[in-house]
Each structure stands twice: as structure tokens, then as C-alpha cells.
Structure 1
Amino acid sequence: MSKQADEIIKKKSNKPDYHRFVDRFFKLTERGTNVKTELIAGLTSFLAMSYIIIVNPMILADAGIPHEAAFAATIYASVFCTLLFALWVNYPVAIAPGMGLNAFFTYTVVIGEGLSWQTALGAVFISGLVFFILTVTGIRAKIVEGVPVPLKSAIGVGIGLFIALIGFQNAGIVVANESTVVGLGDVTKAGPLIAIIGIIIAGFFMAKNIKGGLLLTIGITTVLAMFAGVAAVPGGFSDVISFSVPSMAETFMQMDILGAISYGVIAVIFSFTIVELFDNLATLIGLTKKAGLTDEDGKIQDLDKALQADSVGTMASAAFGSTALNAYVENATGISEGGRTGLTALTVAFLFLLSLFFAPLVGFIPSVATAPILVIVGALMLTEIANIKFDDYTNVIPVFLTIVMMPLTYSIATGLAFGFISYTALKMMTGKFKEIHWIVYFITVAFIIHFVVGGH
């Protein structure tokens, strides 16, 4: 045994029993970290991604879900799955309802397809179940291997533009126009002007790497909105914090699984699964590599376990009344602070739970204060475009259609459909059959059938 190992054991033996337990359980020494570092990393990650507590309930409310229940469901779903990542997977990664997936749920499935939010939650549950089956059977790996790299990158970029469009609409910056379909709103009004200021402030905070910058932006723009008369002003302490926990009784177990199946939302479930699969997988790969959780051969430790935990979390989220979950790229802020174990995620879960008591305050935050966050998140998702090569038009055109059709049709599923169908058609027409994986044929046929039977 090495002298260094002897010294580590000696130091550990002088610690209280609970310190040694925490060290062994989370493998702190093994991963070169300590309790203090993990706690700071957890706080950092929470500040970076806590905007979801405010933004997600507002998006779900547009689908008709009661705001208080959506707020509670968002937090409970985040806590549940983050605890899985903390205590079972031992990743320094927190999980929450995915940006993009929540927009798909509300604006494509509920508003676009005309489904009730209960039926849409049923589709979310089924997608989580499908994702779980795909993971444990190894089919997931085949799907990931089969889908072309250009389309994988295009999915993220298209969702980014779609989220940004929603942000601009919520701010009143982009409005309906009879002559041009869409147009510029009156940016001299208080609401749109505050949102524009918020975008600039958020961009500044991001450029300066200020921790919790997006959450701070929401706070600043909310105060501005209150001064401008766009938002109500809290009347007292009880309007800011409450010791009665908000209830999710109105959404708990309200998912309509049979309704989702009888409606025939195969394309909806399929789209949920595909988006969740690629977005979550890409994020997890990036975060775990940044945290040094790879073996000597480059294989990521416990990746399958992490994907299984996420799928179980998505099913639980649907049961609570929220949308599909995702690993947040904002976890990179905590990892940069030294987070290497599940203790970081455990800290985030605790802070999420603590935020339940601030439910009254959330009700005073206007859409013009959250709109800048949607725009900034959309901008951040454009980074995937760097992975797209523009020297092959059989790739460029499908990528373009995938990206632009998501915001133009207000549907992530439609963007996916145009991308896969055009990719398959162009490759076949140019004789590049070897570049088409069998899974691409399967996905293409599924989308064609969806359009034929009246899907949109």
C-alpha cells in the first residue's frame, strides 16, 4: 500500500463516523473532493438552474394546469429525480423538467394537437416508460448510433429557436400580424421594453460568468415591472414566503394514459422520446466528461444507470403533474466549482425543496421577467450548430428544415418529421444508401404514417 493511501486512511480514521460514512458513500476521497467543495458546487448549480422553478409552471399554466400545482409538481419532480442521481447514480448532476420538452408539451401537444393536459401527461408517462425499456434492453444505443449526427445537432438548435420565439411572444416583442403573419410589437411599451432590458442584463451576466445570473435577471426585471405597473407589488411578508407547502393535489395522478393510447398519439410519444433521448444523452456525456467520470478507455461510469434514473424520474414527473425531465447543462457551473459526486446533487435537491416555501413570491413574477430567460436559453442551444458541416446538401437541407420548421410551425415534432423525411429522401435520390441507418428508415416511415392519418 502506498504512503499516500496510508495517510488518507489515517486522516479518515480521525474523522467522526458520519464523516467517514459520507466519504465512503459518495466516494469523496476517491474522486478528489470534500464536503465543503461539494456543498459549494451544489449551491452554484442550484443558482444557475433555479429559474426553472419560475419558468416551468408558467409554461405549464398555458396548457391549463393550475399554477400552484404546476409549481409544486415542478419542484417535487426535480427533487425526486435529483435524489436518484445523488444517492443511486452518484453524479454531481441535478435533474429538472426540460426546457424544450415543456414547450413541446404545452404549445405543440396541448395547444397544437388539442389534447387535454391530462392526456398529454399520459403521453409523457408512456415516453418515460418507453425510454426506460429502450435503455435496459440496449436498443437506446442502437437508436443513438443510427440517427445521423447532423440531425442530432439540428434538434437542439431548432428547439432553441422555438424556445426563443416563445420568449419573444411572451414579452410582446413578437406579435401576430395579419399582413406578415408575425411582426414587431410596440417596444416602447413598458412590458416589451423591460423584457429587452432583461435580455441585455442576462447576456451581461452570462458574459461575466456571474453565478445565478439568470435568477438575478428575473429578480431585477420583476422589480422594474413592479415600478412600471406591469406587475403587482407584494403587500406583506405573507406574500413573499409561506410556511404552508403548495399542493399538487390538482395534478397528482391525473395523467390519462388510456386517453393518450386511444388518441393514437404515437408521433407525440415518439417525439417526446427522441427529443429526451438525444438532448439528455448529449448533456450527460458532456457533464460527466467535465467531471472526470470516465474510465481509462473513455467509457462513462454508470451512464446506463443515469439514463434509467432519468426515465423513472420522467414517469414520476408525469404522475406529479409535470413534463419530461432532463439533465441541465447549467450543472457545468457546479462541476466547475469542483463538484464530483452525488453530494453536489443532494445539495441541489435540498435547495429545490426549500424553495417550496417561496411559492407566494413566484405569483408576482410577470411573463416579461421570465421571457428574457427563454431567449437566453434559446441562444445557448445554438452552440450545437458548430457540429454541423455545410459541405453536403443532403445534410444541409434536412438540417435546415429541422431547425426552421420547429418555430415556423410551432411544433418540435413537425421539425423532426421534415428533417428525417427529407434526409431519407435526399440520400436515396443521390444513391447514398450506405449513409442511411435502418433506424432512420423506421423513423421516417413512422412520421409519414403520422401525416397520412391526419397528424400535424
Structure 2
Amino acid sequence: MSMIGKDLGTGLPSPSNSGLLEKLFKLSERKTNTKTEILAGLTSFLTMSYIIFVNPIILHDAGIPKEAALAATIYASVFCTLLMALWANFPVAVAPGMGLNAFFAYTVVLGHGLSWQTALGAVFISGIVFLLLTITGVRQKIVDGVPNILKSAIAVGIGLFIAFIGLKNAELVVANKATFVGLGDLTSKGPLLAIFGLIVAALLMAKRVKGSLLISILGTSILAMIVGFIGHPKAMGDVVSFSLPSLSDTFLAMDIMGAVKYGILSIIFSFTIVEMFDNLATLIGLSKKAGLSDENGKIHNLDRALQADAVGTIVSASLGSTALNAYVENATGISEGGRTGLTALTVGVLFFLTLIFAPLIYFIPSVATAPILILVGALMLTEIKHISFDDFTDVIPVFLTIVLMPLTFSIAQGLAFGFISYTLLKLFTGKKDQIHWIMYFVSAAFIINFIMGGH
């Protein structure tokens, strides 16, 4: 048994916990100490810090100025992570969600043709919806009503969608008039750099090196400068800045009325569904791993964690970023002994300190972040092990959910076909006892959206 954070003579939590931290985070009660929590926070930060570079590039694809996107990413992450630490006392850091940012940029803005301001308005409204559903307890009931196979299929489908975007950004997959898609030119610098980054990241992950994704991003960017694929900073001042990046282009820029006029069902509903399943499942899994559930399976302060997430999404949209998620990478910090909000507090402080390196974002090419998208997509594929292929009325909805997300370049379309086909197949094969009432509501909403011309 690991002795990290314990007195070697007694095996009990170290008595070095300060009075304030003990009072705030109940360290002794959760059998941990200050040193263990801080080291756990550092571990979580290293494994999820790639989002600092990846999210602004995705948001920039949607038209958001890169500096403001970077600032919004960091400030939103700091705010909600501190809320998770001090309000919920959870060892979980929060940041703009992978999948949700892709949905925002590539489905809502580029796919539907909405302005990024209107899309932010939809995120803002969805945050309010999350908060109301959480406070009333409806959020938990809705998630409980969706069959587990569809929850797993959603995760797998989003993973393939993210990986497809990564392959596209790496120019490993390109448009082809004859076959729609084809293989890119593997002799050009862009794809070769992306392959290099993919190999480096995969090898480091296989060896369980902390910060492997961040190392890959920085290493590939440096190599890109060396081979002349991108420019390079002329002085150290180009990399380290003592002026904080500005939020002026995105702060309170969301167009709430534009989102409402476009249609609640088509965009806000999709945001709500995607965020709801992903975040709640992650929070439950992480809290169980941290031993925060009692003998009856009840997770202490889960309601506060969900409230923190909802408020964080509202703030994130106000700053200029997308909906927030608890990152599964927090499992690395929890494995190192993180049990309280002090772990999250450490991550929040480290996120804030990265602001001084904000100019680095201008020297990170998309071929350096593309491998990370591919690997994150690959990791999400593991959810397929929870899907049973014995029942044909399960297989078809699962298949449609997974395959239509990347093929239609839309998470919402995959969701729609998955939910509708599940409900109809179960209903017309005499298995209506397997349909929760919420599935009728969700399927009807998607059908109405199609009739109204939603995409």
C-alpha cells in the first residue's frame, strides 16, 4: 500500500496540515495531507494543460480572436476549478470540454453558419438550463433515463469526431472530389510534423510520462520552427509576457437573442444533451475513484460539483469560451492521492500562472495540436467495451450514433439519429418497457427540429 502522505511510523495522515487548509478541505478526514494534495494537483495539471493550447486554436477556427480565446480558456478554467475546490471540495479540475469545443466550432459555427457570438449565446443559455436542472434535481433524472448503451455510444462517436478533426488539421485526411476524403501528401512538412507529434505523444503516454501531451505539443512546435514550417520568436520577450492577454474582444460578446431566434431546439438542446451526459458521467467516475462515495453509493457534495460546473459554463460563455467539463485526466492526480479540493486549488493556481506564457500560443501550429485531438479521440474509444452487441435494437442506434457524428461532421446529428432510432425500434418490436419516458421527449424534440429545418 502506498505510504505517500502518511507518517512512516504509524501509517496515519501527516500532522503537518495547516489549520486553514485542514478547515477548508478536511484533509485528515479524507486521510490525506498538504504535500500529497499539491503533488496530485501538479500531476493533474500536467496531464490536462494541453487544453491551454488546443482550445484557443479550435475557437480561432470559429472566428474568435486567438488572444481572447486563450484568455477566456484560462480564466474560465481558473474560475470553475477554484469553485470546484472551495465550494464542492472535489479533487477535480475543470476546463472547456473537448468535444463541446469541437461541437461549438465545427457544427454550430462552421456547419450551421452562425456567428461565434450567437454560439456563445447558446452556451450561456445552456449554462442557465444546466443550473436550473441541477438545482431541481431534474438533471440527474434525465441522465438516468437515457440507456447506458447510448451514453457509451455518444462518447465513442464524439471521440471519432474529434479524431477526424485532428486528422484533418494534420492534413493526413484531405478532401477528394472522387471519394469525398483521401490521404494527404505524406511528403510535405505539415503531415510529417503531425506524424512526429503523434508518435512522440503515443510513446510518452505508453511510458506513462506526466505531461506527455504538452511535451508533444511543445516539441513538435520547436521542430516546426527548426524546419521552417513556422516562424520563431526573435527574443525571450516574445515568449514571456508580463501583460495579461486581453478579453476585450469576447467579454460579454455573446448574442443571447440571436441564439433564441435561431432556435432553442436545434442548438441549445444539443449543447445541453452533450454536456449533461459527458460531465455527469465523468464526475461520478472520478469521485468514486477518489473514494468520495459512501456505503450506499451516494457521493458527498456531488450536487455542489454539478452546480459549480453549471455556473462555470455561464461564466465561460460570458468570457468567450465554450461549456466546461470535468476532465477525465483528473484520474492521474487522484491516483497520486488527491482527495480534496486542495488538489483542484493547486491546478487552478497553475492554470493562472500560465498567463505569463500566453504569447506562446502564436508559435503553436495546428499540426502540433492535431496529434492530441487524434489521441484524445482514441482514448474515448474505450467506452465501446460497455456496449453489448447482442440485441439488434441496440446495435443499430449505437451504430448510427457513432458513425454519423464524424460522417455528418455534427455531434447533434449523431445524437438525433441515435435517440430516434432507439425509441422507434424498441417501440415497434414490442420492447417499449425498455424505453424511459425521457426518451420519448428527447426523440420528439429531435424530430420536431428536423421538421423545422434544423441541421
Length-normalised TM-score, structure 1: 0.96
Distance 1:70 1:391 in 2: 45
1:210 is aligned with what amino acid? V
Distance 1:160 1:42 in 2: 26
Post-superposition offset of 1:141: 2.0
Deviations 1:204-240 (Å, cap 9, x if unpaired)? 1111111000000101111111122112111111111
Is 1:259–2:258 an aligned residue pair?
A: yes
SS at match of 2:37: helix
Is 1:426–2:425 an aligned residue pair?
A: yes
Is 1:436–2:432 an aligned residue pair?
A: no
For residue 37 of structure 1, what is the aligned residue in structure 2?
A: 36
Post-superposition offset of 1:203: 1.1
2:158 is aligned with what amino acid? I
Are residues 202 and 433 of structure 1, via their aligned partners in 2, closer, same or farther at CA, if it must alter by over 3 Å? same
Deviations 1:254-281 (Å, cap 9, x if unpaired)? 1111111111142211111111111001
Distance 2:128 2:186 in 1: 45
For residue 59 of structure 1, what is the aligned residue in structure 2?
A: 58
For residue 353 of structure 1, what is the aligned residue in structure 2?
A: 352
For residue 372 of structure 2, what is the aligned residue in structure 1?
A: 373
Distance 1:349 1:133 in 2: 26
For residue 315 of structure 1, what is the aligned residue in structure 2?
A: 314
Q: Which moved more, 1:314-323 or 1:285-294?
A: 285-294
Distance 1:61 1:209 in 2: 31
Post-superposition offset of 1:179: 0.2
Q: Please list, as runs of the form range in 1=range in 2, the aligned pairs for 1:33-432 lying within 5 A after superposition.
A: 33-432=32-431
- The answer on whether the counterparts of 1:82 and 1:93 sit within 8 Å (CA) in structure 2 is yes
Distance 1:142 1:9 in 2: 39
Are residues 71 and 11 of structure 1, via their aligned partners in 2, closer, same or farther at CA, if it must alter by over 3 Å? closer
Distance 1:414 1:10 in 2: 50
Post-superposition offset of 1:11: 8.4
- The answer on whether the counterparts of 1:77 and 1:322 sit within 8 Å (CA) in structure 2 is yes
Distance 1:297 1:443 in 2: 30
Are residues 139 and 190 of structure 1, via their aligned partners in 2, closer, same or farther at CA, if it must alter by over 3 Å? same
2:300 is aligned with what amino acid? Q
- The answer on whether the counterparts of 1:160 and 1:381 sit within 8 Å (CA) in structure 2 is yes
2:389 is aligned with what amino acid? F
1:50 is aligned with what amino acid? S
Distance 1:292 1:187 in 2: 47
- The answer on whether the counterparts of 1:310 and 1:326 sit within 8 Å (CA) in structure 2 is yes
1:424 is aligned with what amino acid? T
Post-superposition offset of 1:9: 12
Superposition CA RMSD, Å: 1.6
Deviations 1:305-335 (Å, cap 9, x if unpaired)? 1011100000000000000000000101111
Q: What are structure 2's unaligned runs of at least 5 residues?
A: 1-6
SS at match of 1:141: helix
Post-superposition offset of 1:389: 0.1
SS at match of 1:363: helix
1:285 is aligned with what amino acid? I
Post-superposition offset of 1:19: 1.2
Post-superposition offset of 1:402: 0.2
Q: Which moved more, 1:294-303 or 1:67-76?
A: 294-303
Distance 1:381 1:88 in 2: 29
Q: Which moved more, 1:226-235 or 1:325-334?
A: 226-235
Distance 2:49 2:12 in 1: 38
Post-superposition offset of 1:194: 1.2
Structure 1 outlier segments of 4+, above 4 Å? 7-12
Distance 1:142 1:23 in 2: 35
Q: Which moved more, 1:290-299 or 1:77-86?
A: 290-299
Q: Which moved more, 1:380-389 or 1:427-436?
A: 427-436
For residue 3 of structure 2, what is the aligned residue in structure 1?
A: none
Post-superposition offset of 1:8: 12
Q: What are structure 1's unaligned runs of at least 5 residues?
A: none
- The answer on whether the counterparts of 1:238 and 1:360 sit within 8 Å (CA) in structure 2 is no
